[in-house]
Structure formats: structure tokens, C-alpha cells
Chains A and B, each alone.
Chain A
Amino acid sequence: MIYTQQLKELLNELKLAEGKNCLLFVILDKSQNDLIEIIEPRGFKVNRIYLEKEVNLLELLIKWEETPENTVYLAHGLSNQFLWVLGYLNLHRDLFYDIKRPVIISGSEYEIGEIARYAPDLWRFRSRTYDLTEKKIREKEERFTMSLAELEPMYYILPIFEDEDEEKLKERIKVDEYLLGTVRDDYKKAELYMSLAISYLKLDDFERGKRSFEKSTEIKEKLSDKKGISINYKRVADIFLWKGHLEEAVRFYSSVLELNPNLAEAYSRRGAAYDELNQHERAIEDYNKAIEINPNNAEAYYSRGVTYTDLNQYERAVEDYNKAIELNPILAVAYYNRGFVYDKLNQYERAIEDYDKAIELREHLPDDKDAQAYTNRGAAYAKLKQHEKAIQSYEKAIELNPNLAEAYVNRGSSYSEIGRYEEATRDLKKGGILLLNSERVEDSTEVFSTCFDFRDSVESIDVAYCGLALFFLRRDKKVLSELKIMRIRDKILIKIFELALRRLENEDISDEIIKLEEEEKREDLRLLIRLLKET
């Protein structure tokens, strides 16, 4: 960056404003890093805030007291949150007054101009605007920049795929409605209506959502803004996809494609919607089209791979995952899914390799998939009879997600394979309980039954527990007679067992159950009491 007069004055102002409130706007046509590299060697600590997704500038700035005195905040990425900045920040700008650190808001000439126009109160709060662009350097410093604002189509980045709570959405609605009273330019009005539409749709208020969407599109039609209309359809389609309203999503992606037949993303997303609607053939057609338009689209290959997997066409699935990985070597889910397919193809070594890779890239995996990857790797080791390794893998999975039923169940069966029945039955019991709690009753019954089958190999209260649970779930008297000949070493289990017998004789045991419920605090036993009650 060239050391211009503007830059010199900016650095001097930062020095004067150290530890004080001061809001500066900087027009920049380079990366923020260039600016930081100039500022930091002068004894400042730059605290950089990129405005994206849920980042709330004011919430971050409020923590200024925790920063060293020589801190300078640098916020950028305005266009990611334009409507929010213009509405919310504008009306809360007095909070800047309490922040005793200089705050730089940097952006393009357009972005800063928008603030000047539409966030007049925030703008008024500035100490000064610095122009550090090349254009400014070429001009004589004395001369003013004469670039007048033109009415142009413009499209904001709207938060479609982000989780937002009701309170935040309602607040955004208020901000947008307020801005509609301020903004005069039709392009912006249309965008504000669209922003409203998205908030309403997120709140499941489909009537208002649809109405706002229609208003926005109507304005864009009057402006003959074809691109804007297509963007609108795409946004609505995206939000319906995200909300799981798949037929609606398909319909709107189709409208997008009518206006813009070369939008690969619309094909691949419509494909995803078809896939979830179990219309796999149509999904594949769309993915094919997306790949035809853009042969370097890793996501499309990946998605098609998923559909082939669903259709049990494993060789094709592997081919697609290979291609996706070739195009995007850090696409962790592709390794994960290819591992799954190799497992199906009985190629366990390869499956393990892929799970290893997915685990290595775990920060790119969706939530909870990492624990699942460890579990699946464990299962692959188990199929290779490498039970020690399998058990280590399951342990990792449990560490990451202590409620992952499959990890316990699988570890239990690996333990049993190597004759460690006590651990095996303990894990199976835990797995069975977790499955039951997530209402997977059949799976749970199966697991309790497996555990109970070890009653001749090991004498443990876990086996007795599983036996009782199995009896309650299946109401199989044979289980009860098996339990009779077992030695149960736990008072409460004995009590529950006795009550179960009395219940079989049609005795009224409700008082005893109430008493037991009051006394017993252990979760696993309370579950058993509940099952007894429901029998």
C-alpha cells in the first residue's frame, strides 16, 4: 500500500484516538491484510471483525474492555449484512460512544456510499472518512472525487441457510419494515420485500412470506430486472429446500431454470430436492445436467454419488465420489460416504482408509459426523476381526458423542468377540437404553436380547437388567422363567422382578411402583420402573 497523505493522517488519528471512542470509515480497494500490515507495526493491535452470517458487530464491540488499550477494531464485509447494518446499526449507533477504542469500518466506495445515504445517523457519528483507493492516489489529493450515485440494480446477500431464532427474525422484520419507510429507490425496495419474505418464511408464516415475495417480484417486473426476478425465485426455492418443503422447492427451481437455463446450481439443488422426495431418477438427471454445464462442480458429483448409493449402485457411487474428491480434495463428506460404500462392497481396508481421511479433515465434516466416522471405522475393523482396534475407534466416537448408541452397541459386540463379557454386557445395556430413549424400540429390544444371551457366559447385574427390559418390551414369559433361575445381585432389580411377577398374577402393585419411583434416583433403574408401570 502506498504511503499517501490520507494514510499518514489515518495513522496519526489512530494515535490521537487510542483508548477513546472514534468511528472511522475507510474506503479500500485492497485486502484488509494490506491495511493491517501498515497499522500493526505502528504499535496497534488490530482486532479484525468480518461481518458474515450471525456475527453481530455490536455484541463483539461491547467486549472492548477485555482488549488492550492499543486495540483498533477493523470491521469489514458490509455487503454481507447490508440491510442489518443500515437498519440495526444505524439506530444503535450511540453504542459506539461507549466503546473506548477506535473502530474502523472499511468497505468499497459503493459500500461506504450506501452507509452515507441510508444510515445517516451512523454516518453522522463518524470522525472522518479516509479514501485509500488507487483512484484517490491518482487524483491530486486536493481534488474531490466526483462520482455520483446512479440508480442501479442491486442484490443483497440475504441470510437464507442460517439458523436464526424467532426473536432475531422478528427484529429483522421490524428493521426491514422501517427501512421501507426510508428507502426510495425501487431496486432496494424490492430487495427489502424479499428480505421480509425470507424472514416470514423462516417463521413459517407462509402467507406473509408469499405476499412479500410477490411484492418484490412485481417491482422487479416493472423494472424489467430479469436477473433480479431469477434471483428471487432462487432464493425462495432455497428457503423451501432448507425448510424441507420439497415440492415447492422443485417448482421454484424450475422457474429459475426457465429464466436461466444455464444455472448449474439450480439443477443440483433441484436434484437434491428430488433426491429427498425419493425421485432418484429425476435427481440423477438434474445432477447430470449440472455436471454438463459445469464439469468442475464437486458438489454435483458428490450429490449424484449419494443418490447412486441410495440406489445401491455402488460402483457408480464410488466413481462419483472419486471425481468429487479429485475436484475438491478436502471434501470430507465424500471420503466418509465413499468409506460407507467400500464397506458395503466388503472392501474394509479401503473403507478404513477413507474414514481415516474423513477424520483427518473432521473440521470440514458436518456436526456429529466425526463421531459417526469413528464408529463406522470401528465397524470396518470389526469385520476384519481386529477387535482391539475397533474398540479404540468406538472409544473415540463415545468421547466425541457420549450418547451415540451405535458406538456402545458395536463396542459391546467387539468385547464379546474377545471374551470380555462383563464390558460387553455393560455396553449393550447402555446402548439399549440410549436406543429406547430415542424411541427406537425394535433396535433396543434386539440389543437387550443380545445382551441377555450372554447370561450363561457372565454373571452380571447388567444381564439381569437387560433380561428385565427384554421381558417388559416383549412380554415373553420364557424370559421371566430364565430370570427366575438367575441370581440377581441387586435389591432394586429383585424388587422390580418380584413386582413383575405379581403384576402377571393381576395384583394391584401401583402403590409399590409409586414408592419405588419416589425412592429411586438412578436413571437406568427409573427407566425400568417406567417400563414396569406401562406393562
Chain B
Amino acid sequence: MKAKALPEVYDIFDPQEPLTGEKLREYYVNRESPVKRLSGILKTTKKPLKYLFVGSRGNGKSTELNKLSELVKEELFIVPFSIKDRLNLFDVEYADILLVIGAEIYDKVSEQIELSKELDEYLNSWSETVVERVDEKQKGIGLGAGFTAIVNLSGKIKTQVTTREITRDIIKPRMSDLIDAINKIIVDAEEKLGKQLLIIIDDLDKVNLEKAEELFYMHGAELTQPICKVIYTIPQPLLFSNKIRQIVLQYFDGHEVLGNIKVHDKNSNLNSESCEVMKDVALRRMSEDLITEEALVTAIEFSGGILTEFMRIIKDAANIANTEGRERIENEDVEHAITEIRNDYIRILSKEDLEILKGVSKTKEKTDGESFQDLLFSLAILEYSNGEIWYDIHPTIKRVIE
């Protein structure tokens, strides 16, 4: 649906909603993205590739991963899930992730086919040993029988700390058994489905750097054990430390970066191609007569190429224009919305941050230290690339800095 009035613009420009299904078809705009190439590799290579997927907060990663699913769904059997729906983001361990991978594959595959009898028996006896031990330590947990019990267990560890701890104590010393079980399911499923499996794990980029290091640096070996294709999202700063980056990439076949849309080039000139992409993003969602050309360009410029920011600017501008009784978003409405967003940024900056921002604004280069990473994480600094990588400060705070 295209917005025909400002209250509808307010609804449709939702910064939080990744595009899926019908909306993906209606609103999706092709942009510079690694997804197309990645889909080609995934379709043609038989190897169980493991990829990392990186990008700024809110720059459209989830939508791109949904797009990737669309592109490969004929050739591959996709098991997509969000880690935040399945696990507790502030307490995730590699063992939990593998358990959930097992549960998700089993669940999704069982909807389509019946696993072989031998495999079922193997899984049952394996599950039994785990479930018995959990039962012993936590009476009355009621997990049921067979591998379904493992699926139920993986559901419980999201919310229950005690169950989570007990499960880890039991699973960790038997990690190879779990991986074995997962791989047996994969082999049987791929044979019966006549398709290879692709697991897409979203929202792992939401954990903090310390957690991400623990998962991918310490346990990259375990996380790459399943013998099917897997894509993990990771937080951007994980790739900043060269040492860690090297080691992480040892386990994986590559990492793909979803860059921010370059609305400016390195010399701060507007990039007309990117502007067209952004315009298209807006005008697929709203009728052209609801915003002036000038207002739209201002919104694009100040979004810094981050899609959620762009959505928020237009959403806020729609409210502002509507408050004034206007039926169309004028440039002043967008300017007003940008002022508000700028204040939000100022709120999180310290004096030290200001100095760093001044530097980046001039040099367009990265500096060392945690503060730079924090600023990147909070989108006060944005990363762009076309062959070479450069940095710039968020356009809404430019005026304050300069």
C-alpha cells in the first residue's frame, strides 16, 4: 500500500520493520549490496560455506537477508531465525547457539519430510540421555520425549536462567555428540529434500563486542562445525581488531559487508545515483505529492544513507507537517525533524567524542581506540566504501562540529 495522506506516511515509514513477504515485493529497492553475488556463490557451490554478514546498525541488514532468502529459495532449503527470538541476548553462549541450530533445523525440516527411522532412533536415544540429566537437576520441567524434547528445551533456555545453566553443563562436555546429531539431521534432510540447507542467523550483531569476541574468537571452531551453509550476522566492531579479524576469518569462508548507501562522496558532494535509490525507497511507500522535491532531497542528505534514519526523518516530518495542518511535507518540516534527531545525537556525546568527531570530519579516517568504535556503533560516525573505505560523521551533527 502506498500512503495517500500524511497519517498513512506516519504509519508506513516504520524504521523498525525489516521488509518481508508482500512488503518486500512492494517496497524493496535494489541497492549496492553483496547479496546478489552471495546468492550466486551459495547456489553454485556445494561446499558448506560459512559467511559472516556485517553492516551498520539499521542500514537494512535484515531486509537484505530476507532478499537473499528470496533469491535462493528455489535452490536451497532455508532455515532462517533471529537469535533474539530464540535466546537471551545478554547471556548467549556458543553451546546455546548450536542447540538452537539443531532445534530449528529439526523443526523446519520435520514440517516437510519424515526423517529416516534409523536417524529418529539415534536422535531419540541421544535426546533421552540429555533430557534425563536435565530432569534429574530440575524436577518437573516436562520436556516430553524424543528430539522434540530438545526443541522444547531450546525454547526454555531463552527465559529461564536456571534451565540455561543446567543445559550448558550437560551439553558442553558432549559437544561433539550434539554436533554429530545436527550433522546427521542435515545429511538426511538434504538427501530427502534434494536441496542443500542454508541457515541464516540474524540479530547476532546486537550483542556487545566482548560477547561477540567470546563467541566468534573463542568458539569459531565449534560454530562452523555444522556441515551445511550458514550465515551469521556479527557486530561491526568485531572486524576492527586485526588480530581477531584474522582468527575469526580462519574459521569462515568470508565476510560480506553491507555498506551504507553513499549519499555523499568523500568530498561531500551529493551522489546522484544513490539519491535516486533513496528517492525510490521513499516513493514506493508514498505518493509523490505528499512531499516536495526539496524536502525529499534534504531528508536523503541528512539520513547519511542509513535507511532507518531516513524512515525516521520522514515519519517525524509527517507528524510535524500534520500538526501544522499541512497536507504535504515541506522542507522546513524535514529541517525541523533533523534538528530533533541532531539533539538526540548531541545527548550522547562527550567532550572527548567531539574532538574525535572533528578529526574524522576533516581526515575521513579511522582513529584508534574504543571511543571511535563506540561512535561508530552509535552511528555518530558512519562507514562508507567503494573500493576504499572512508568515514564521515553523521550529517545531522555536521553543523554542530564545524
User: Is B57 a contact of A124 with CB atoms below 8 Å?
Assistant: yes
Asked if A9 is at the interface of the complex by the 8 Å CB criterion, the answer is yes
User: Is A181 a contact of B319 with CB atoms below 8 Å?
Assistant: no
List, in ascending order, chain A residues with CB within 8 A of B161's CB. Answer: 167, 170-171, 174
Asked if B283 is at the interface of the complex by the 8 Å CB criterion, the answer is no
Question: Of B11, B90, B210, B400, which is within 8 A of A20 by CB?
Answer: B11
Question: Of B88, B160, B320, B350, which is within 8 A of A9 by CB?
Answer: B320
CB neighbors of B among A320-334 (8 A): none
State the CA gap A12–B161 with chains docked (Å).
42
User: Is B160 a contact of A167 with CB atoms below 8 Å?
Assistant: yes
Asked if A94 is at the interface of the complex by the 8 Å CB criterion, the answer is yes
CB distance from A130 to the nearest CB of B (A): 8
User: Is B208 a contact of A178 with CB atoms below 8 Å?
Assistant: yes
Chain A, interface residues (CB within 8 Å), range:
35 or more
**Known A-B contacts A124-B57, A148-B354; A182 and B346 likewise in contact (beta carbons under 8 Å):** no
User: Is A116 a contact of B91 with CB atoms below 8 Å?
Assistant: no
A-B contact pairs, 8 of them (CB 8 A): A16-B10, A116-B344, A116-B347, A124-B57, A125-B16, A167-B162, A174-B161, A175-B90
Given contacts A147-B346, A167-B161, 17 further A-B contacts (CB under 8 A): A9-B320, A9-B323, A13-B319, A16-B7, A16-B11, A16-B322, A109-B347, A112-B347, A117-B378, A121-B206, A128-B312, A144-B339, A145-B346, A147-B347, A148-B349, A174-B90, A182-B210
User: Is B349 a contact of A120 with CB atoms below 8 Å?
Assistant: no
State the CA gap A171–B91 with chains docked (Å).
9
CB neighbors of B among A90-149 (8 A): 91, 94, 97, 109, 112-113, 116-117, 120-121, 123-125, 127-129, 131, 142, 144-149
List, in ascending order, chain A residues with CB within 8 A of B11's CB. Answer: 16, 20
User: Is A94 a contact of B84 with CB atoms below 8 Å?
Assistant: yes
List, in ascending order, chain B residues with CB within 8 A of A20's CB. Answer: 11
User: Is A127 a contact of B400 with CB atoms below 8 Å?
Assistant: no
User: Is B16 a contact of A148 with CB atoms below 8 Å?
Assistant: no
Asked if B135 is at the interface of the complex by the 8 Å CB criterion, the answer is no
User: Is B349 a contact of A149 with CB atoms below 8 Å?
Assistant: yes
List, in ascending order, chain B residues with CB within 8 A of A9's CB. Answer: 319-320, 323
Query: Which residue of the partner chain B has the closest CB to A146?
Result: B346
CB neighbors of A among B300-317 (8 A): 308, 312, 315-316
Q: Mark B196-221, 1 if CB is under 8 A from A, else 0.
A: 00000000001011110000000000
CB distance from A70 to the nearest CB of B (A): 16
Question: Of A87, A120, A146, which is within 8 A of B377 by CB?
Answer: A120
Q: Mark A79-94, 1 if CB is under 8 A from B, else 0.
A: 0000000011001001
Question: Of A16, A125, A145, A174, which is within 8 A of B343 by CB?
Answer: A145
List, in ascending order, chain B residues with CB within 8 A of A121's CB. Answer: 206
Asked if A478 is at the interface of the complex by the 8 Å CB criterion, the answer is no
State the CA gap A8–B90 with chains docked (Å).
38
List, in ascending order, chain A residues with CB within 8 A of B348's CB. Answer: 113, 116-117, 149
State the CA gap A442–B323 with chains docked (Å).
77
State the CA gap A184–B347 with chains docked (Å).
17
CB distance from A120 to the nearest CB of B (A): 6
User: Is A174 a contact of B88 with CB atoms below 8 Å?
Assistant: yes
CB-based A-B contact count at 8 angstroms: 110
Asked if A66 is at the interface of the complex by the 8 Å CB criterion, the answer is no
Query: Which residue of the partner chain A has the closest CB to B206?
Result: A121
- Chain A residues engaging chain B, CB cutoff 8 angstroms: 8-9, 12-13, 16-17, 20, 87-88, 91, 94, 97, 109, 112-113, 116-117, 120-121, 123-125, 127-129, 131, 142, 144-151, 166-167, 170-171, 174-175, 177-179, 181-182, 184
Query: Which residue of the partner chain A has the closest CB to B7?
Result: A16
Interface centre among B7, B16, B90 (most CB of A within 10 A): B90
Asked if B74 is at the interface of the complex by the 8 Å CB criterion, the answer is no
List, in ascending order, chain A residues with CB within 8 A of B91's CB. Answer: 174, 178
User: Is A12 a contact of B400 with CB atoms below 8 Å?
Assistant: no
Asked if B58 is at the interface of the complex by the 8 Å CB criterion, the answer is yes
Asked if B89 is at the interface of the complex by the 8 Å CB criterion, the answer is yes
State the CA gap A145–B400 with chains docked (Å).
10
List, in ascending order, chain A residues with CB within 8 A of B206's CB. Answer: 91, 121
Query: Which residue of the partner chain B has the closest CB to A181?
Result: B210
CB distance from B63 to the nearest CB of A (A): 15
State the CA gap A117–B371 with chains docked (Å).
12
List, in ascending order, chain B residues with CB within 8 A of A13's CB. Answer: 10, 319, 323
CB distance from B339 to the nearest CB of A (A): 6
Question: Of A128, A150, A182, which is within 8 A of B350 by CB?
Answer: A150
Asked if B370 is at the interface of the complex by the 8 Å CB criterion, the answer is yes
Question: Of A91, A112, A120, A149, which is within 8 A of B90 by CB?
Answer: A91
CB distance from A456 to the nearest CB of B (A): 54
Question: Of A12, A113, A179, which is within 8 A of B347 by CB?
Answer: A113
User: Is B350 a contact of A127 with CB atoms below 8 Å?
Assistant: no
User: Is B347 a contact of A120 with CB atoms below 8 Å?
Assistant: no
CB distance from A398 to the nearest CB of B (A): 35
**Known A-B contacts A121-B206, A150-B350; A144 and B211 likewise in contact (beta carbons under 8 Å):** no
